[in-house]
Structure formats: structure tokens, C-alpha cells
Structure 1
Amino acid sequence: MQVTETQADGLKRAFRVVVSAADLDAKADARLNELKGQVKLNGFRPGKVPTAHLKRVYGKSVYSEVIEQTVNETNGKLVEEHGFKLALQPKVKLSDGQQGETLLDGGKDLAYDVELEILPKIELSNFKDIAIEKLVVDVSDAEVDETIQRIADSNRPFATKEGAAETGDRVTIDFTGYVDGEKFPGGEGENIDVLLGSKGFIPGFEEQLVGAVAGESRTLQVTFPETYAAKELAGKAATFEVTVKSVDAAGPIAIDDEFAKTLGQESLDKLKETVRGRITQEHAGAARQKVKRALLDALDAAHRFDVPEGLVEQEFAGVWGRVQEDLAGQNRTFADEGTTEEEARQDYRRIAERRVRLGLVLAEIGERNNIQVSDDEVTRAVVERARQFPGQEQQVWDYYRRTPEALASVRAPLFEEKVVDFLLELANVTEKTVTKEELYKEEDDEKAA
């Protein structure tokens, strides 16, 4: 076998490989001898089929198998001998004149070119030099009371009232919608409850029902939002013919131990404790996302190296596909977003490159520090996902069990979170108490990222 390096440019390597016909023929003969005791051909006893006859019957398929095996083995040795870590699978191209079946008859050298894209060598920074602020929010009694009040409002009893509907009342309606004078799918409903002021319908719909009385018919003029899910309706003007069936007013509700018991809590104090714990958990999740973003920004700034173009292209293709789907779903263009397609491509390519670089850094950190995700952890995560689909748990479980790519999509975020936890233990993390509004405020740079 002859191997000649033909390219060594950055992270790209290329080699010319020639395997002699003698080596291929020897491997093919060995494989044919193995088949002697396995195949059954009419007129021959098991194990007594002449090699020449086997070659006539199975020669092409055997040579195809030998060539594929030889290419894989040769590429594997090449990678091992050079100490390469591959970013992607090798690209193999047979030399001119060796396409089709010219190699499958035997007696010819195998010559091919192989292109490799390798992972860069990463020099990790000192993680103890990373300084990060962790935002902390103290859950106030007022926030707990406000949350319980919202729960109470959503559980208020309603009773039929005389007179006109007001904001806060519930009206029950039948309606038929028209766009350009034609009915549209999903534009009809009967005995639909509308809570006035809840903003649960198209903008302007609820407001035009204020003042209506039971038995009254009204014509409502509204416009679907530009971001409406059904893109065929997005931005369209619509008319709704509405009949008010009844008007109900919200009754009083006492926030006490009895109310808490209707929610499965033994007392109001216990309900407040539960609500406080849930709010604390929500704030902790938001704070975690911010501190993780800060950590990733610090890692990105501290590690500058070339990334494999193939990985960037793959990542960009996924990101760009989702961007185009989102725009199409919202019936929007790049101009609506205040940019051009070319500018957007450049921005999202930078995002793809950042993701690849950070992924390589996190993988390197995990490998050097033996951070692993156990099969039990993956199983628990799959079970949690399956629980999100009541009645279809077994189908979801079977899908992940049969689909390695899907299972990898579960393992990857678990690994990332483990590496992030490891780094936060080493980094200089200081806590800063802020308000709820400050915690959830999205800065322009965060939106861009």
C-alpha cells in the first residue's frame, strides 16, 4: 500500500492511496474460501464448490465487499497513525478510470483520494480567571400574594347578569368569520366563552363585545396579526358575525383555607409556601440561563481557533432552515426584520461558527475531565419526554430506543449542563440581588445572541 499526502492546509488533509491488485486479490480469495463452507449450490456438496466457480458466481459482490473493507481499514490506519481527530467522515473519491465495475473483476490496483477535515488542537484557558455575576431575586410576600390572586381570579365563579357586558365579564357567543366575504377554516364556533379583557382573542375582538347584552347580534371588524399562526390569514382584515348567548359576571372569591383546599393544599399557608417555592424555582431557572450565557460568552472570548468548515456548514444549514421556516410561518420577509438576506446569512453564519467553537470547547473540557452522561441519566430524560405525551408514552419510548440520532439529542444537552456545572464550580461567581424586572429584562445584546 502506498500513501502520499497531497494537501495539508489548516484543518484539511488529503491523501492519495494506492492498494495493489495483489493485496486485493489475496483478500478476495480469502473471502471466497470462507464462503465455501457457507454457500449451497446445486450440483456441489457443501464445502466442495471450486473456488473458480465461486468467483464466477460471487466474484463481483466479494470484490465490492473487499474494496469497501479495504478503504475503511486503510482510512482508519491513516487517521490512527497521524493522530487525527476527525470532524466529519472522510470523503473518498476513486481515481479516474476506476468508476463503475472496472475494479470488480479483480487484477487491478485500487487508487483513490481521501479528504479529511480534522478537529483543531484546543488550548484551554484558566477557568478560574472567569468572573461571572449570578443574579438573585428575593421572592417577596407581595409577589406570592399577586400570584395567588391570579389563581383565584381564574377560578372565580360566574353567574348570569342582567344588562350590558363589561370588562371582566364572561360572554358566551356563537360566531362566523369571513375574509374577503368568504368563510375560512376554523372561523366558526358555538357556545364559545370569551372573558372580556383577557386578550385571548384577536386584537379588537373582545373590546367590541363590551356593552353587548344577551340575545344581541353584532358585526365585529378586526385584523389578524402579521404574526398569526395561520399564514393564509396573517395580516388579513376579517368580519365576524357574532350572537351573544349570555353574559355572566364574576362572583367574589375568598382567598382562605377553604380556597387552598380546592387546589389540593391543606391550608392557605401551605399554598403560599408551594407558590413561593414554584416562583423561586422559576427565578432560579431564569438566573441559570443568564449565568450560562455569560459563561459561554467568556469561553467564546477566551478561545480563538479555526473551526472545521464542514461542521460550520452543517450547523448553518440547520439554523438557516429554521430561520426560513419561521419567516414563512409568520408571513414575513428579511425586509420586515430590517435586514437583507445576505446580511442575515452573514449574521447566522457567525452564530453557527460560535456554536461549533463552543461545542468543541465544551467537548474538550468534558473529555479532559472525564465528564460523562450515564445511560441511566439518558433513560430518565427519555422517560420525562415520554410523559409529555400522555397515552403515547410507549411510542415515544420506542422511537428513542430505535433512533440513535434522537437518543444523541437527549444526551447532548445533559452533557452540556454537566460541563457548565463543572465550570461554574471553578469560575469566580458572585451573587447580585436584583429585582424581578431586572432578572427578566432582555438586553439588546442578549436578543442578538
Structure 2
Amino acid sequence: MKKLLLLAVAGILAACGPADESTKEEAPAADAAPDAETVAVDGVTDTEVVFGTHTDLSGAIAIWGVGVLNGARMRFEEANEAGGVHGRTIRYIVEDTQYQVPRAIQAANKLIYRDKIFAMLMAVGTPTNNAVMEEQFEAGVPNIFPGSGARSMVEPFRKLMFSQHGTYYDEIRAAVKYFVEKEGKTTPCVTYLNNEYGLEIVEAARDQSAEMGLEVAEMVAYKITDSEFTAPMIRLRNAGCDLVLMGTVHRDTILILEAVRKIGWEDVAFVGNNAAYGQVIADNESGATEGYYAFVHMAKIYEDDESLTEVERDWMRRYRERYGEEAGLPAMEGYRGADLVVVALERAGRDLNREKFIAAMESIDDYTDIFGYRIVFGPDDHKGTSESALSVVRNGRWVTLDTSITY
């Protein structure tokens, strides 16, 4: 069995219960398969069940990592205050990766072999998830609701993988189809972060364009450390692009749109996906992000929106009281993911093991979250959903245009 690096890590433990101070244990020998009986009860005692995650709390996508963590902790605290699930409290061990693959490998090694987690839950980042999943699966540890829309999170089908939102690939294909058919766009282009996530955006744009008899006219890649985008945007403008699909994250989305504003480029639609969707983008004071679109699996809600249900309004109020800020999409996703886990634990019963937990997850075939979005699983379907919502920035807020778009 391929080994994760055994390195000592000063991890961050954010737990809904007491922190685990156990000493480091060695990983199994390379030729030793996990013992079925031992693996089945990892992370489960008479009084608690332990989940873990490697996530970004202080790096390039910390907005996602922190928000997801806050939402999840809020739901687990509710469950624990009510007595837990079948007499067990839920403990959630969190390791900060700073969106760096080496740190993710170290963190996963600790969570799997020292902390003996029951499952990995809502680990954020495409390259960080991809770097550890194979070893994780060899150890029998499920990957539940990763904070990534990469297809590798759901394809090929594996019993140990579950997603709670659509893929970036689906979102971008839906975007191309929508803007070509509904808005009359004819010249799609792509700007993307040069990593696994960004390349998936390129693939989606190319595939949908080809299906509609079009070609991607131009593409520009960049590194996560880049901060100057004027020349790349001039290059796209010179190619005659009228639709730019964005394989970006929060910071670079803003910088790119600032560059577009600087060169005076108009009559072009910039369209992102779930990874480039957050209030920080809408809040940009220069106005450069006005009119920016995003295809996402859940649309942000606002506390003062009169259309909110009482349940949504109460949740937003409680979140603000707990964390001192308005909840964003990452927090919504974190809360829903944790709620789905609670549902699965309840269905799995007191005699808990991973096989029963997976079966319980697969039995969730008609779940609607408190925000009105449906999630459907089955024995051969762990994807959750394939529909996208379309949002646009208007006057510093995200406005939802549609909530059920596919390609």
C-alpha cells in the first residue's frame, strides 16, 4: 500500500467535544491490508463518533474552509446538546492545510492513523483531496462531502465517496449552454488557475462548446501567486471573446475583474462557478464585480431578504449570534453536510460501523435542506445533485436568477 509521509504535524483541533491528545501511531506496513473488524470501528466508542477534515483555515481559499467549518460545528453542537445520536456525541477534528498539498498529506496521515477517524468530512480543496484519497480509501476511510466540485470527487463511482453538490464540470457546461442559447454568445474563452481544478474548467468549456459547434477561442492560465492580470485580459479581448468562463477562486476573480474594468472591456460576460462565488466578490467597492455571474449548487441568502422562510431567518440569526457575521454559502454547505451526517447516523443505528453508515447514506433518497435544495443518493448514485443555480452580482449583492439549470 502506498504510504503517506509520516511527518509530525502541529495540527489545529477544532472539535465539538474534547480534543484528542493521543500519541502518534505508525501507519500499517505497506503489505498489510486493513483488518476489517478494526477498520469498522475506527472512530467509534460507546460515547462518541469521530470525524476529521483537512481544510484551509489560513490560505488562499480560507473563506471556504472557515465557513464550512463554522456551519458544520453549528449543526454538530445542536446534535450534541440534544444528547448526541444514539447516545454518542460527534467530535470533529480539523487540520489546517493552508491549501497546500504537502500539508494535506501530513494532516490526512495524522487523522487516519493517529486520530483513527470514522470518516473524512468536508475536506476543502481539489488538489489536496486528490493527493490523499487513494491512501485514505486503502485504509477504509470514507470521503464524505469534500469541499470540491472536481469530478474526481464522484467519478469513477466508489462506495466510499459522497458529494453534496454538483461538479465544476457540470456547472461550466451548463454555463456555456445557457449563455450561448439564452444570451446569444458565440465566442467562449477561458481563464483558469493552472492546477487540477482549473484544467477541469477548460475541459468542460471545450466539451460543451464542441457539442454546440463552437470552439474555445482563447485560453489564459495563471498561478495562484499571480496578481497582475491586465495583459491576459487584453489577450482575451483581442481574441474577440464575448463569454469568459472562469476557473478562478475568490482573490483572483476580483483581480481579474479589476483588470477588465481598467482596460474598459465591456459587452462580455464573465462566468464563474461554485469555487468563485462568495460575498467578498460582491462586496468589492470599485464596482468591478458588478454583472459577474456564477453557476453554483446553492445560492447565497441574505438576512434582510423578505422572501426568507422563518426557518432560514432563524438559522441566519443564530449563525450571526454564534460567529458575529452573516452566514455565506460555505456556512450553508457546512451546515447541510453536517445535517446529512446526523441523518445518516440516526438511520445507521446504535450498532455503528462504516458499512451501515454507507448504507444509511444511500437510503437518503429524498432530502430537502432548510434552504430548499434537494439531495438524492442511492446505492449507485453518490453525487447528490446535478442541477445548478445561476446568480449575478447586482448592487453589491448576489441575485439568484434561476435555481434549476442543467446542460
TM-score category (smaller protein):
under 0.3
With structure 2 as the length reference, what TM-score do the two structures score? Answer: 0.22
Q: Kindly indicate which of the two structures has a greater share of residues assigned to helix.
A: 1
**Which of structures 1 and 2 has the bigger CA Rg?**
1
With structure 1 as the length reference, what TM-score do the two structures score? Answer: 0.20
